[in-house]
Amino acid sequence: MIVSGRALGQLSRRVVPTRIAATAGTTRGLADVQVEHGRGEWKTYGDIDQYKLGMYQIKCFNKISPIGLAQFPTGQYDIRKDAEEGNNAHAILLRSHKLQEEDVPHSVRAIARCGAGTNNIPVARMTELGIPVFNTPGANANAVKELVLCGMLLGSRRVVDGINHMKELGKQGLARERVEKDKSMFGGQELKGKTLAVIGLGHIGSQTARDAYALGMNLKGYDPGLSVQSALRLPQALELTDSITAAVSDADYISLNIPYIKGEGGTHGVIGPEVISHFKPSAVLLNFARGELVDSDAIKQFLDAGDGRYVTDFPDDLVWDHKNAVVLPHLGASTEEAEDAAAAMAADTIRDYLESGTIKNSVNFPATSLPDRPDHSIRFTVVNQNVPGVLAHITDAFAKENLNIVQQVNQSRGDIAYNVLDIDTTGHEDVLCFKNVQERITMTEGVLSSRVIYGAPGMGYAKNLDGQYFV
Ligand SMILES: NC(=O)C1=CN([C@@H]2O[C@H](COP(=O)(O)OP(=O)(O)OC[C@H]3O[C@@H](n4cnc5c(N)ncnc54)[C@H](O)[C@@H]3O)[C@@H](O)[C@H]2O)C=CC1
Ligand SMILES: O=C(O)C(=O)COP(=O)(O)O
C-alpha cells in the first residue's frame, strides 16, 4: 500500500495505533501474540511525499552498485535512487556525496558509506542525533592498491607525458619518424631496489607494502594504530618507524594511506612544509587517500624546486597542470569489483542493524554482536548518551509494566551507549502494548531513540528530539 503524504498527515493527526499481527513462520514463537504500537505524528518528520507502509525505505546518494542493492529483499525494502526522494528513509547509502544534516530526515536510523573514508559525513553530529554511521573496511582496498602501484609507475616512467606526446606527433603525422629520437625525453627509473615509505598501514597500506615487496622494493612504514590483522600482512622486511619524517626521509616513493580527520589532532595538511623538507628531491608522493592531507603550497614548492613528483587521486587547484604532477579524478575505488563489494557490505550492515540491531563496522557506535532473539520474546533497543543511570530507568520502566527482560546487552563507545533488551512475551496471550513503555523510556533524559524490532519493517521507531517525542 502506498500512502500519500497528505493521507498520512490526516491519519497521523488522529494518532492511530497500529496493530501488527504476528504471522506464523516469520516471527518465531509469536504466532498468537499481537504487538500494538502507535505510529503517531509522522507529519513531524518533515516533507512526506510517499511512504510504503511495512517496508524499509533506503535513500541512495551517488550511484550505488545494483549488485549491492540486490542484497535488500524486494518486498521488504523500497530503494530510492534519486536523492530528491526518500524523505521518510530509514537508512541512507552513499559514496562520496558530501552529506549535510538537512539530507538526513528524522526517520533515518542508520547511514552506510559504501567505501572507507567517512570524512564526507558529519559523523559527530550524527552521533549527537543517535545515528550510527557505518563503512566497509577493506571492501575497495584491492582496487586502490592496484592504482597506487599504477601511480608508482606513472611517477617513475613519464607514461602520461609519453602518451600525450604520441598523440601530438600522431596529429602531425610524425609519430613513426620521430618516436625513436624523442623517446629520450621520457626516460625513467625502475621500482626494483627503491625504497617505498607507506604512511598508514591499514587495509590499503598493508596490501601496497606487501605487493611492493614482491616487486623487489625496500619498505618503511609508519602507523601508530597498526592493527594485528594488517601487521600480519606486512613483509617482515618492512622497517616500522616511529614518525612520518623518519619514514619519508630516505624514501624514493611515499604512499599516503591514512584517513582525513578534520580539527585538532587530525590529519589536515599532515604532509606540510616540515615533512616535505625531509623528502629526497626526487621523491614521488602518491596520494590516494585524500587531497586535504597534503599542503598544496608546500607540495607545489617541492615540485618547482626539483624533479620530485606528485601523483594524486584528488583535485588540487595549485598543481593540476604542473609538469611533475599526475592528477586523477578520484578513481581509486572505481572498479566493478570494488563497487560491488563495498555496496554489498554496506547493504548487509544496514540490514543487520535494521532487522536485528547488530552493529558491525560502525565508525561512531560500539560494535554489538547479538545472540539470537529467544523464542517468545520481542527485541527492544535504546540509543542513549553514555551517562550514569539511564540503564536503571530502562529496566525500571519494563518492571513497572510487569515485563520481564530475558536477555540484555549493553555497550558503549565514547558519548554513546547502546542497549538491546529482549522482552519475554510469555503469558501475554493476546495483545502486548509497547506504546506507553516505549514513550516512557524514550523520553528519559539522555535517551536519543528507541526501537521495537519486531513486526512490520520500518515501524516501531521513536525519537527524543530535544525533549519532543516523535514516533
Ligand atoms: N582513492 C580512493 O578512491 C580511496 C581512498 N581511500 C582513502 O584511504 C584511506 C585509508 O583506507 P583504508 O586503508 O581502507 O583504511 P584503514 O582504516 O584500513 O587504514 C588506515 C590506517 O591509517 C592509520 N592511521 C591513521 N592516522 C594515521 C596517521 N596520522 N599516521 C599514520 N597512520 C595513521 C590507521 O591506524 C589505519 O591503520 C581512507 O580513509 C580514505 O580516505 C579509501 C578507499 C578509496
Ligand atoms: O572509499 C573511499 O574512501 C573512497 O574514497 C572511494 O570513494 P568513491 O566510493 O569512489 O566515491
Selected residue with higher pLDDT from 18 and 417: 417
Query: Best substitution site from 140, 204, 267 to test ligand 1's pocket, by max atoms within 8 Å of Cβ?
Result: 204
Quick check: 436 pLDDT over 90? no
pLDDT of residue 462: 87
Distance CA 78, CA 72 (A): 9
What pLDDT does residue 470 have? Answer: 81
Q: pLDDT at residue 293 above 70?
A: yes
- Residue 119 Cβ inside 6 Å of ligand 2? The answer reads no
Q: What is the mean pLDDT of residues 343-366?
A: 97
- Nearest ligand to the CA of 135 is 2
Q: Is 140 in the pocket of ligand 2 (CB under 6 A)?
A: yes
- How much distance in Å is there from the Cα of 144 to the middle of ligand 2? 9
pLDDT(427) > 90: no
- CATH number of the 11-138+337-470 domain: 3.40.50.720
Given a cut of 90, is residue 31 above it in pLDDT?
no
The 8-class DSSP code of residue 261 comes to -
**Domain residue ranges of the chain, discontinuous segments joined by +:** 11-138+337-470, 141-158+189-327
pLDDT digits (tens, 9 = 90+) for 168-177: 999 999 999 9
Burial of 6 (0-12, 13-18, 19+ CB in 10 A): exposed
Residue 68 to residues 74, 336, 351, 417, 431, Cα–Cα distance (Å): 13, 11, 12, 30, 38
The verdict on ipTM greater than 0.90 is: yes
Q: What is the mean pLDDT of the chain?
A: 88
Do 422 and 408 meet the contact criterion of CB atoms below 8 Å apart? yes
Average pLDDT over residues 21-25: 31
CATH topology classification for 141-158+189-327: Rossmann fold (3.40.50)
411 lines ligand 2 (CB under 6 A): no
Fold match flag (11-138+337-470 vs 141-158+189-327) = yes
